[in-house]
Structure 1
Amino acid sequence: MRVIVWLVEGTWPACVDAVGTHAPNASDVVLLHVSGPDVPGVAHGAFAGLLGRGRPDRDPGTRLEGLGGRSAAELLETAAERLGRPCTRLERAGRVEREVVAAAEGADLLVLARDGDRARLGPHSLGPAVRFAVDHAPCPVLLVWPEAAPALTTMPPAPPPHH
């Protein structure tokens, strides 16, 4: 069994713990972190357009790319320690939701966490990237709450019946 575990800041512990609970005998666990191009790209663009005339060595986008890589490696290391068993660490970069779906190709399970409004039950508990991954994953998906799930009383009301 091959399990892909999508790690995101703030929600990754729940995903790692879910592997132990729901896929304890998985033979191949892959811890996945995806870095999007957004922040470094914005910094590169702002520097080039406004500030960077003649001083490419001072481009803050380059520094942000390096910091992001170190942060991802640290997150993967911490997650591997929490998992407590052999695993593969995989770093990808690009459109986050598409990289997650591509990484799940050939997997038996994709584990990810809700990343939207976690105060109530309902569709808003999924952000755009998680919604995309859930809708397009080429394998079964285990969607976990990063903390205890909200009470059933937070569920949106049922629509009125049509006559």
Structure 2
Amino acid sequence: MTVIVWIVEGTWPACVDAARDHAPEGAEIVLLHTSGPEAPAAAHGAYAGLLGRGHRRGHHPPEGWGNDPGSRVEDLAAASADALLRTAADRLARPCTRRERTGRPERAVVAAADGADLLILARDGDRSHLGPHSLGPASRFVVDHAPCPVLLVWPEPAPDLDTLPPPPPPEPA
């Protein structure tokens, strides 16, 4: 049995705990973290937009100013993802595989779940009420498109039933 656990900042402990509680002994557990390309791309773009501005011919910028910061942002993101995956693996306290993917997170998770027996993810939207808004856009996409069964967990205790949206009005006769 292969279990994919989507590791996201802020909600990952509940997913790891669910894997520990629900994945049978001997299951292959994959801790998956995804990084979007937005931050490095913004840093690359900002740097490219500033090239040639504020420098006189023959004048060189101070040491370190000539390096594209996008590469540094990519390195920081990779180090952060690695640290998060190591922390999640320590919490799981079972053998597991750690994977980092870059790209649109929702598509990377769906692709990683291809051939898996279970995908575990947490609600990441409005967690103060029961209902569809408790899923953010990426999680909604994953739930709607996952090619395997999905275990959807609350990262904290679920809201009370009185937060359930009211039923629709009765149809006119």
Residue number in structure 1 paired with 2:126: 117
The CA distance in 2 between the partners of 1:53 and 1:89, in whole Å, is 42
Which of the two has higher C-alpha Rg?
A: 2
Residue number in structure 2 paired with 1:87: 96
Q: CA RMSD in A?
A: 1.5
Residue number in structure 2 paired with 1:48: 48
* Alignment-mate amino acid for residue 140 of structure 1: P
**Per-residue CA distance 1:28-67 (angstroms, 9 max, x = gap):** 0000001100111112112212x23388843222111110
The CA distance in 1 between the partners of 2:102 and 2:45, in whole Å, is 18
TM-score between both structures, scaled by the size of structure 2: 0.89
Equivalent of residue 140 in structure 2, options 131, 141, 146: 131
CA contact (8 A) 1:109 1:142 kept: yes
Once the two structures are TM-superposed, the CA of residue 136 in structure 1 deviates from its matched residue by 0.4
CA contact (8 A) 1:3 1:26 kept: no
Q: Where does the alignment leave 5 or more consecutive residues of structure 1 unmatched? A: none
The CA distance in 2 between the partners of 1:52 and 1:17, in whole Å, is 48
CA contact (8 A) 1:106 1:139 kept: yes
**Per-residue CA distance 1:63-104 (angstroms, 9 max, x = gap):** 111100000000010000000011000111011100000000
CA contact (8 A) 1:93 1:99 kept: yes
Aligned residue-pair number? 162
The CA distance in 2 between the partners of 1:114 and 1:91, in whole Å, is 20
Residue number in structure 1 paired with 2:117: 108
Three-state SS of the structure 2 residue aligned to 1:58 is: coil
The CA distance in 2 between the partners of 1:42 and 1:53, in whole Å, is 18
Residue number in structure 2 paired with 1:66: 75
* Higher share in helix: 1
Residue number in structure 1 paired with 2:58: none
The CA distance in 1 between the partners of 2:80 and 2:51, in whole Å, is 26
TM-score between both structures, scaled by the size of structure 1: 0.95
The reply to whether residue 148 of structure 1 matches residue 147 of structure 2 is: no
The reply to whether residue 161 of structure 1 matches residue 161 of structure 2 is: no
Q: Where does the alignment leave 5 or more consecutive residues of structure 2 unmatched? A: 54-60
The CA distance in 2 between the partners of 1:153 and 1:25, in whole Å, is 37
% same residue: 69
* Alignment-mate amino acid for residue 88 of structure 2: A
The CA distance in 2 between the partners of 1:65 and 1:52, in whole Å, is 20
